Amino acid sequence: MYMRYALLKSPYKVLIKHEKVPSPAENQIRIKGAFCGICGTDRIMAKNGVKRWTRFGHEVSGTIDEVGRNVEGFKLGQKVSIKPGAPCGSCSFCAGGLLRKCSNIVVAEGGFSEYLVVDPRSVAVAGEEADLKSLSLAEPLNVAIDVLQTAQVRKGDSIILFGPGLIGLLALYISKSRGAKPLALVGRNFYKHVEVHQRSLDVHFVKYNPDTTFFKSQKNLALAAYLQDIPSARTVSRLVVIHTAPPRFIAGYASFLPYETTIVNIGLASEPKLVKMRLDMRELMYRRISLLSSFAVPSLFFGEAIEYLSNGLINSEFFIDKVVNLEQLQEEIRPLKSGRKNLKVVVALDGARKI
């Protein structure tokens, strides 16, 4: 039996190859891939991150296809999501309950593949009723939950999302279910898919201009005015800004935020000038503004993520707006001049074939 899998090389080159379906070792599990989401970090990697042909893809769902002889507690046919970085469970940090500090993270990569052999610790099992397409959202959901956990978002908080992509929107829906109040989406373009969520969440949309001089350019005055007039600035609630855009823009708006705002960054960019920033710490200090970093490695919230996907709080039909096949991956990974018109593209993995 042969399978197809994808290799990536910068800039933006994808190769589909064939090889024999691998057999799991006695302490491994083989997964028959169902769906693998294309992530923003895949696109950043594709731009200038990989010099040699590399397997990629880390938002995988599938079913258990073969279980190694020494593996216990898993059954053939179980629906699963794969954790790209699982805590090892046995290092001194894991043993002490400090899973975030795990010094021996179990990595599972190469999700754009019809079959995948993984360590059992990478496997998060879902119920029979779970939908395989939805389960490919478990990884981005895990990231969104990590953002909320990092900022300790709670009932009564007000939230602004800077950069209305998948992760931030997922975080807003979850935070709303926890009693927080989303106020606004701040984005470069008011795409149709952004409008859908703006209406559904009943929040404002505020446009920003990605000029690197930001507020000095006079192009972002509407955003400055909005931030200075946020309802929460006049109430007792805490404001949390979830930042998923290039980090550089934080320096542009930090001085307009209300007292005791918490900013939590999960934004990245491939250009150094969009990642580095100059920040006058007095602007943060005198108004007690916190700047936090979220980074969901190792993956700690897959259980919760699968629960949200199973109980209907997160309906994948509302987020996954394009499904392509492995051959279309090359085209999908490329940047578009006009910006991305889809919120989430997933690749359907077809399963093995005889060639």
Residues in contact with Zn ion by CB under 5 A are: 39, 87-88, 91, 94, 102, 104
Nearest approach, Cβ of 293 to Zn ion (angstroms)?
17
Considering the complex, state which of residue 105 and residue 230 has its C-beta at the smaller distance from Zn ion.
Answer: 105
Distance CA 53, CA 143 (A): 27
Nearest approach, Cβ of 145 to Zn ion (angstroms)?
13
Nearest approach, Cβ of 89 to Zn ion (angstroms)?
6
Considering the complex, state which of residue 91 and residue 291 has its C-beta at the smaller distance from Zn ion.
Answer: 91
Nearest approach, Cβ of 282 to Zn ion (angstroms)?
36
Considering the complex, state which of residue 204 and residue 322 has its C-beta at the smaller distance from Zn ion.
Answer: 322
Nearest approach, Cβ of 39 to Zn ion (angstroms)?
3
Return the amino acid letter for 130. Answer: A
Taking every pair of Cα atoms in the chain, the longest distance, rounded to a whole number of angstroms, is 67
Nearest approach, Cβ of 41 to Zn ion (angstroms)?
6
Nearest approach, Cβ of 206 to Zn ion (angstroms)?
26
DSSP for 60-72? EEEEEEEE-TT--
Return the amino acid letter for 149. Answer: Q
Nearest approach, Cβ of 249 to Zn ion (angstroms)?
21
167 near 185, Cβ under 8 Å?
A: no
Kindly report the number of other CB atoms within 10 A of residue 120's CB atom: 19
Distances (CA, A) of 256 to 26, 29, 32, 261, 327: 57, 51, 50, 10, 46
Taking the CA atoms of residue 110, residue 113, residue 118 and residue 122 in that order, the dihedral angle to the nearest 10 degrees is 70
Considering the complex, state which of residue 16 and residue 88 has its C-beta at the smaller distance from Zn ion.
Answer: 88
Distance CA 228, CA 181 (A): 18
Considering the complex, state which of residue 47 and residue 207 has its C-beta at the smaller distance from Zn ion.
Answer: 47
Nearest approach, Cβ of 326 to Zn ion (angstroms)?
18
DSSP for 190-247? --HHHHHHHHHHT-EEEE----TTGGGGTTTHHHHHHHHT-GGGGSSSPEEEEE-S-T
Distance CA 254, CA 27 (A): 49
Q: At what angle do helices 138-150 and 302-310 cross, to 10 degrees?
A: 120
DSSP 21: P
294 near 307, Cβ under 8 Å?
A: no
Distance CA 58, CA 228 (A): 39
Distance CA 266, CA 243 (A): 6
Considering the complex, state which of residue 33 and residue 252 has its C-beta at the smaller distance from Zn ion.
Answer: 33
Considering the complex, state which of residue 85 and residue 252 has its C-beta at the smaller distance from Zn ion.
Answer: 85
Considering the complex, state which of residue 227 and residue 320 has its C-beta at the smaller distance from Zn ion.
Answer: 320
Considering the complex, state which of residue 36 and residue 180 has its C-beta at the smaller distance from Zn ion.
Answer: 36
